[in-house]
Amino acid sequence: MKNLKPLADIRVLAIESYGAGPWATLQLADLGAEIIKIEAPPRGDVSRYVPPGARDGDSLFYQCLNRNKKSISLDLRSEEGMEALYRLLPSVDVLFANPKGTMPDKLGITYEHLKKYNSKLVCCFLTGYGRVGPRKGHPGYDYIAQALSGIVWMGGEPDGPPARCGVSVIDMAAGTNAAFLMMAAIHQSRQTGVGCTVDTSLLELSIAYCNYLNTWHLSTGWEPEKLPMGAHQTIVPSQLFQTKDNWLMVMAQMDKFYFSLVREMGFPELAEDIRFLTMQDRYQNRDVLLEILSQAFKSRTTAEWIKMLEGKVPVAPVNSIPEALRDPQVDALGLVIDYDHPGLGKIKQTGPPFTFSGYKPEFKPGSAIGKDTESVLVSMAGYSKDELAKFQKEEV
């Protein structure tokens, strides 16, 4: 069967840099969309210089977020650069950007500004804090959004400092949300013939991801606690436990898992104890139950507990990154990919987090800075090579 690209008919012009924005368009690129990335000359996306593995205007960090993308160099601070942008718009479905919230209006790139060039155009913006409000002009980053939303306050031990999530989960979440919004807006545009502007932000995603905690507080006044061992706020046991040699994550999110856990551990009486029969019972008697389980988990190694419990109760060892990448389930899912890069050699990275019947993603390195400028501006915007030579001389 021919390897049909699900999004082969979608073309995105992306003014993006660093993490959240490139992650958004990466989701579309891995599904076959054409992503044309605009980079400011002469250095381009700042992520090209993030160590380790940064060399000659490219980096492993850049490649893991920008594979399968084209790159054109345009100075959008110049009239000529903006004119080139306008001439590209009739050939694209989406103009995507991850700027400060004040930039879309300042630069004039919302749908209201650009609809005269393409009435079906979708303009999608992923900002730090949105395009309204007191922080709209502030630079925004993942860790800052985590701090503002309460996520950092929730992390760490009760007697220790706050702790952020160890990876840039809000960048990724906001990027995925932006990709979803682009697809929804394209669908609407193709039905109606009228484009639109759609917005999302790091702060909105951070607040939204505190979903049930926010609901409990807003509806009842309940306030979350900073609990030890990464514990769930109300479900017990659902947390880290120290073993004889390491750590174990246990999540008895349903009554049946709790009963299986204590029986497999050799405490059948705890499955009959009236103090622990329901979620509410275990929540009210949290301290007593956790003391029993914590002491018991220290009697065996993590590997011994995994052998005893895995498949019967939701449990996992606390892996390091290298250990996680060696996990047999990761291998079975084919999550590690590789491709050759002309300057960085063979790049190994984690691939797209999906399988798609009838489609197998293909991977190639993201283009060098401005590599596709001539081909894109000639074929899509109608520029002559002489005009492009003039642009280059003027550093446009």
Give catalytic residues, as residue numbers.
171
Q: How many angstroms separate the Cα of 98 from the Cα of each of 14, 124, 214?
A: 9, 8, 27
Pairwise CA distance, residues 87 & 92, whole Å: 10
Specify whether the CB–CB gap between 36 and 190 falls below 8 A.
no
Q: With CA atoms as reference, report the closest residue to 123 among 107, 142, 141, 145.
A: 107
* Residues 6+ positions from 285 with CB-CB distance below 8 Å: 275, 276
Pairwise CA distance, residues 387 & 384, whole Å: 5
Beta bridge partners of 13: 36, 95
Tell me the residue ranges of DSSP E strands in 16-113.
Answer: 34-39, 54-55, 58-59, 70-73, 94-97
Q: With CA atoms as reference, report the closest residue to 106 among 136, 145, 141, 142.
A: 136
Beta bridge partners of 359: 356
Pairwise CA distance, residues 224 & 226, whole Å: 7
- Measured in degrees and rounded to the nearest 5, phi and psi for residue 358 equal 85, 0
Q: With CA atoms as reference, report the closest residue to 103 among 75, 85, 79, 127.
A: 127
- Measured in degrees and rounded to the nearest 5, phi and psi for residue 54 equal -100, 130
**Full DSSP string of 246-286:** SEEEEE--SHHHHHHHHHHTT-GGGGT-GGGSSHHHHHHTH
